[in-house]
Amino acid sequence: MNSDFTLAIHSLTLLALQPDRMATSDIISESAGVHPVRIRKVLSLLKKHGFIKTKEGTGGGFIFASELSEVNLWDIYKITSEGALQPKCPDSNEKCIVGANMQKVLFSIFLGAEEHLGEYLKNYTIKEVVHHINLEK
Amino acid sequence: MNSDFTLAIHSLTLLALQPDRMATSDIISESAGVHPVRIRKVLSLLKKHGFIKTKEGTGGGFIFASELSEVNLWDIYKITSEGALQPKCPDSNEKCIVGANMQKVLFSIFLGAEEHLGEYLKNYTIKEVVHHINLEK
DNA sequence: CTAATCTGTAATGTTTATTATCACAGTACA
DNA sequence: TGTACTGTGATAATAAACATTACAGATTAG
């Protein structure tokens, strides 16, 4: 799994903490320790799903566009990383009962695993993450 | 996540289907489509935990050493891939409230996620996987 | 007892995935 | 009209996964 999921959470949390003004990709990238272009790419996904708004030009940037308690981590996972749990099986031997069928068996197991993970992630919203961040202060 | 987890499942399933005789790393690697050395590395982990037995020399190889229904996928996950869910966060900015604390917040979330995944994986044993493989025939 | 056939494992090379960087078009504002 | 942003494609650098080589140690067959 790449870190788009955690980058998205990081960015949203930062935006949640300054709901009144926009944050640029430079500011967010400095907080997250990654390149600003990556921030723009990940956040453009979140924009497409309406979680944030963006503005180009001077004074522009990114800003939260929904209720903190309505954005849960499962939503974000699906947008950034759906299918990431799924293992990339090498082409196994079709002549072997196991090789020929293992891939689809594993596929169904991991599909179930991802759904199960979803049940857990649905319980976490950005509001909770922000709360945890504040507790750590 | 690398594919050690699925390789282990694949190998155990193959061994489960021929409980009477040993399988060499060459045979298993041919079924799984990977290099025999990888099979030996992954299976040596399973051996350490007593799930299989090995024998060196002519006629040697790997063989199942426990009850199919007592080897569940969570056991195997823990052996091969524990912590794999955990995202590798880049060093974020310590001067930023979010950057400074996000890592430990994410850590606790992903720890919970892995435990939750465990509850799902515990329900799958090699016996079930073998059963699914046979159904696909 | 010697050659053949295995596992065990370290070391190294190759490939693939992830991430960073560059380049530049488009938008908004002063 | 210049400056400060996002949006996005293309390419380069880095890191992770995987394959390959090499060889020591165990076991068996002849």
Number of domains in chain B: 1
CB contact under 8 A, A90 and B32: yes
Query: What is the model's pTM?
Result: 0.94
Q: Is A14 in Cβ contact with B109 (below 8 Å)?
A: no
Written as one string, the DSSP assignment of chain B is: --SHHHHHHHHHHHHHH-TTS-B-HHHHHHHHTS-HHHHHHHHHHHHHTTSEEEE-STT-EEEE-S-GGG-BHHHHHHHHHTTTTS-------TTSHHHHHHHHHHHHHHHHHHHHHHHHHTT-BHHHHHHHHHHH-
Tell me which residues of chain B, numbers 15 to 54, contact chain A at a CB-CB cutoff of 8 Å: 17, 30-34
Bases along strand D below 7 A from a protein CB: 2-10, 16-22, 25-29
**B 91-130 residues, CB < 7 A, strand D:** none
Which residues of B, range 54-83, sit inside 8 Å of A by Cβ?
A: 73
Mutate to test the interface with B, among A2, A26, A105 (most CBs of B within 10 A): A105
Instruction: Tell me: pLDDT of A137 over 80.
Output: no
* Res. B29: pLDDT tops 80: yes
E strands, A1-137, in order: 52-55, 61-64
Q: Per residue in A22-36, pLDDT tens? A: 999 999 999 999 999
- Please state, in angstroms and rounded to a whole number, the distance separating the CA atoms of residues A35 and A53: 20
Does the pLDDT value for residue A92 go beyond 90? no
Does residue B14 sit at the A interface (CB-CB below 8 Å)?
Answer: yes
Q: Which of A59-68, B25-34, B52-61, B95-104 has the lowest mean pLDDT?
A: B95-104
pLDDT at B86 over 90: no
Please indicate if any CB of chain A lies within 8 Å of the CB of B111.
Answer: no
Q: Which of A94-98, B59-63, B65-69, B71-75 has the lowest mean pLDDT?
A: A94-98
Kindly list the residues from chain A whose CB atom is less than 8 angstroms away from the CB atom of residue B6. Answer: 87, 89, 102, 106
What is the CB neighbour count within 10 angstroms for residue B25?
22
CB atoms within 10 A of CB A108: 10
Q: According to the model, what pLDDT value does residue A99 have?
A: 86
Query: Can you give the pLDDT at residue A47?
Result: 98
Q: Which residue, chain included where needed, has tokens 């390789």?
A: B7
- Return d(Cα B74, Cα A116) in angstroms, integer: 14
Residue A68 three-state SS: helix
**Range(s) of the domain holding residue B85:** 3-135
Q: Using a pLDDT cut of 70, give the percent of chain B over it.
A: 99
Residue A103: half-sphere exposure toward Cβ, Cα within 13 Å: 13
Residue percentage of chain A with pLDDT more than 70: 99
Render the burial of B74-112: b for 16+ CB within 10 Å, e for the rest: bbbbebbbeeebbbebeebeeebbbbbbbbebbeebbee
Q: In CATH, what number is assigned to the domain containing residue B95?
A: 1.10.10.10
Identify the pLDDT of residue B91: 83
pLDDT surpasses 90 at A100? no
The model's pLDDT over A40-80, given as tens digits with 9 standing for 90+, comes to 999 999 999 999 999 999 999 999 999 999 999 999 999 99
Count other C-beta atoms under 10 Å from residue B20's C-beta: 6
Name the nt closest to A22 by C-alpha to C1'.
Answer: D5
Q: How confident is the model at residue B73 (pLDDT cuts 50, 70, 90)?
A: very high
Q: What is the mean pLDDT of residues A8-12?
A: 98
Q: So what's the pLDDT on residue B31? A: 96
The first and second tokens of residue A20, run together, are: 């009144």
Instruction: State which amino acid sits at residue B84.
Output: A
pLDDT classification of A88: cutoffs 50, 70, 90:
confident
Between positions 79 and 98 of A, the ones with CB within 8 A of B are 85, 87-93, 96-98
Residue-level pLDDT at B92:
87
pLDDT band at A91 (very low <50, low <70, confident <90, very high): confident
